Structure 1
Amino acid sequence: MSDPRRRRALLTSGVLFLAGPFLPFALGVVERRLGRGREAYSAPGPLREDPFVEVIIPAYLEESTVGATVDRLTTDLEKSSVRHLVHVVASDGGTAAAAAAAGKVTLTGRGGKPAAVNAAVEQSTADVLVLTDANCRIEPPDWPVRMLRELQETSLLSANKTEQGSDDVLFWRLESLLKRDATKRVGSLGVVGEFLAMRLRDYRPIPPATTSDDLWLAMDFDSRGLRVGVSPTITTTEDPAPRPEQWERRVRIAYGQLSMALPQLRALSRTPAGRNYLAHKMYRLTVGAAAFWTGLGAAVSLRPRALVPLIGVPVAAAVAQYRGLLSVRTPLDPLAAVVALQAIPVAAVSRIVRRRLSRDQPTVGWRKVPR
């Protein structure tokens, strides 16, 4: 490839990569001009005056975290004067014992998160379901009151996720901004499994082999004309995982999104929130990441060749640091994390291809690090 063609490739790739954060906003402008928005979704049914809320915590190897989570949730619900049940579905004996203070504990074998949630919902008599994790904190303490208020306008409600002291601070800030804008306009499918609230009557069982249960629920609600949104006032907070575990978690999430959303491109493109999801999440995981690596290849191929280590070494170091292979810390770690995140889709696609070629049968759950 000649130098002019390399430069054009570098310029085009740079534009495509940098367009990613702005694309959902641009789509929003177009949607507004076309008159597409909330009217595409039916209004959620009213809640009873004193709704009964069941918080379901599917937990596996969470012996050191689940007890404090149960206590915190119970306190928040009681102070908010909300009728409630905290239900822990434990897949191991240690977690079940640690969750003894919960209103209900169900001990099961390890059948995966979808099976645990389905089993709990099948037994439920609540008006409102809340799905959350054993290792996160829901803020602020009056979240039950805020949740019930916001469910008056939304069928499936999620929260903004944060991680204390995480190098992904720029990522989480962008996510919050994009989700807030989308929720105001058409709704957002960018939900997180750490907090999902819905009416019991709207829940449909999650298929057992589902790789991303939160995305499946969001897509299912959206396909039925039920509005999905992210709360502007409720957040979930958790401590960042060790870097090797964080890398695996990111790859797992990207794997789930790609393997579930790509086959549903046509269906997603038919709804306002689905189109926003494609411009937000799917663009970043596909076009955005491909543009980054194409641009990087074009940059290192340009003369002088002395540029190769000046570009390649920092990028390789950023990825190695994010994976926990390099323990050096610098003030530029948040920027390095942005670079490293571009390697996540590559690893996820590689995993999808390997599993398809090897014809591996779906496994139950993911590798779990005890907490």
Structure 2
Amino acid sequence: MTRRSWVAGALAVSVAAGHVLYPVGLHLAARLRPVPVRPEPVDWPPLTVLIPAHLEVGVIAAKVRNVEANGYPGELEVLVVADGDPETAAVARAAGARVLLLEERHGKSQALNKGVPAASHEFVVLTDANNELGPSALAHLVAALSGEGVGAVAGEKLEGSGGELVYWRFESWIKRNEVRIWSTLGLDGGLCAVRRSAWRPIPPDISNDDFWVALDLMERGLRVTYEPRAVVSEESIGTLGMSWERRTRVLGGGLWVMWRKRRLLDPRRGFLSAQVWGHKLWRSTIGPLSHVALLGLALGSLRTSRVARLFVAGHVAAAAALPAQEAGIRLPLPLRISAQVLYLQMVALGGLVRCLRGDRVLQWKKPAR
């Protein structure tokens, strides 16, 4: 093999590390562990459902009704933290929720810092105002949170379609395997449960509240488990422009979290270190950069390599599929998946740029709902 072939092979392995090598190794390790069994509590503990809300006048009453109608078998408190938003506070109070009104907007992370200690009960479910809980989602979360050594529980988010939905299912598969070994990093703030006594304030420079909470709990030896039956549905992010802004912000914020928690990258941390590297960091940095280098190598080999021509042609097709999907054109599933993979690699690079330039948005602009 030529030197160019060796370089191309090494870059291909690097590109695949986060999305292929880590999941495969994870699955092989998880097969050696039993599937966790979660018996339902004999006595259902009282529960607080905490909803941070800003500019949610049009949806907050429906959200309160959705929570109350979820059929939780124990005592239930609905607490809305209106983040600098008196109008949302008034509508939530009229809908029957307990309301904590913050006079100024603090951002979601700091709204949670105010809300969790104010919860009346030990078990707290965090959920967004603009999504809808699936049947018995609250009971499923509480049953999982009752397990020994569990500090938080991740729910299951249903969002998007086509390639995007396939990606979320892939993430769910990773979480199922991670919790068979110990714990998962895949906590999503759209629906999760935490113990009030295990909560520690999120630092003021952190925008990715869910990722910080997961790492903080795991660093202290507490597990973050996953309950796929606790489902929440949410509308797709919207246009590519809106999606780009949100996803690059989340990726950039996630990289900042990993920088703040960089001591966890030490291999002596064991499985937690492997998770941070494999599930998050490599996918967000080295993998996408290797992808760019591999594409550049292929462009330089177009005249001499059929593989290079196919590789570049695949990228051209995937890039063309993105605006086609935006226009509502129905494409074959493999092409939609390819477009989603390319888009996520681009998002990772965009998030890396935002992190390096210090673009940490703590109070992002959002449309009124």
Structure-1 separation of matches of 2:188 and 2:22: 19
Q: Secondary structure at the match of 1:21?
A: helix
Q: Secondary structure at the match of 2:357?
A: helix
Higher mean C-alpha deviation, range 273-282 or range 167-176: 273-282
Q: Counterpart in 2 of 1:138?
A: 133
Change over 3 Å in CA distance of 1:246–1:17 after alignment to 2: same
Give the deviation of 1:26 after TM superposition.
Answer: 4.8
Q: Secondary structure at the match of 1:22?
A: helix
Give the deviation of 1:144 after TM superposition.
Answer: 2.3
Any conservation in 1 of the 2:253–2:355 contact (CA below 8 Å)?
A: no
What are the equivalent positions in structure 2 for 1:328-347 lying under 5 Å apart?
Answer: 329-331=329-331, 332-347=335-350
Give the deviation of 1:309 after TM superposition.
Answer: 7.4
Q: Counterpart in 2 of 1:98?
A: 91
Structure-1 separation of matches of 2:181 and 2:281: 19
**2:279 aligned partner, one-letter code:** H
Give the deviation of 1:316 after TM superposition.
Answer: 4.1
Higher relative contact order (CA 8 A, sep 6+): 1
Q: Counterpart in 2 of 1:86?
A: 78
Q: Does 1:56 align with 2:47?
A: no
Deviations 1:128-150 (A, max 9, x none): 111110111222x1122222221
What are the equivalent positions in structure 2 for 1:210-289 lying under 5 Å apart?
Answer: 210-243=206-239, 244-268=241-265, 269=267, 270-289=269-288
Structure 2 regions of 5+ residues with no counterpart?
Answer: 36-40
Structure-2 separation of matches of 1:89 and 1:133: 11
Any conservation in 2 of the 1:56–1:130 contact (CA below 8 Å)?
A: yes
Q: Counterpart in 2 of 1:44?
A: none
Aligned residues: 350
**TM-score (normalised: structure 1):** 0.84
**2:116 aligned partner, one-letter code:** V
Give the deviation of 1:183 after TM superposition.
Answer: 0.9
**TM-score (normalised: structure 2):** 0.84
**1:143 aligned partner, one-letter code:** A
Give the deviation of 1:48 after TM superposition.
Answer: 9.5
Give the deviation of 1:285 after TM superposition.
Answer: 1.2
Q: Considering only aligned residues, what root-mean-square deviation do their CA atoms show, in Å?
A: 3.1
Any conservation in 2 of the 1:179–1:190 contact (CA below 8 Å)?
A: yes
Give the deviation of 1:295 after TM superposition.
Answer: 1.5
Give the deviation of 1:222 after TM superposition.
Answer: 0.7
What are the equivalent positions in structure 2 for 1:1-371 lying under 5 Å apart?
Answer: 4-28=2-26, 49-76=43-70, 79-91=71-83, 92-99=85-92, 100-108=94-102, 109-139=104-134, 141-153=135-147, 154-165=150-161, 167-243=163-239, 244-268=241-265, 269=267, 270-304=269-303, 307=309, 310=313, 313-318=316-321, 327=327, 329-331=329-331, 332-355=335-358, 364-371=362-369
Higher mean C-alpha deviation, range 23-32 or range 268-277: 23-32
Give the deviation of 1:194 after TM superposition.
Answer: 0.8
Any conservation in 2 of the 1:88–1:102 contact (CA below 8 Å)?
A: no
Change over 3 Å in CA distance of 1:240–1:263 after alignment to 2: same
Give the deviation of 1:126 after TM superposition.
Answer: 0.6
Q: Secondary structure at the match of 2:194?
A: strand
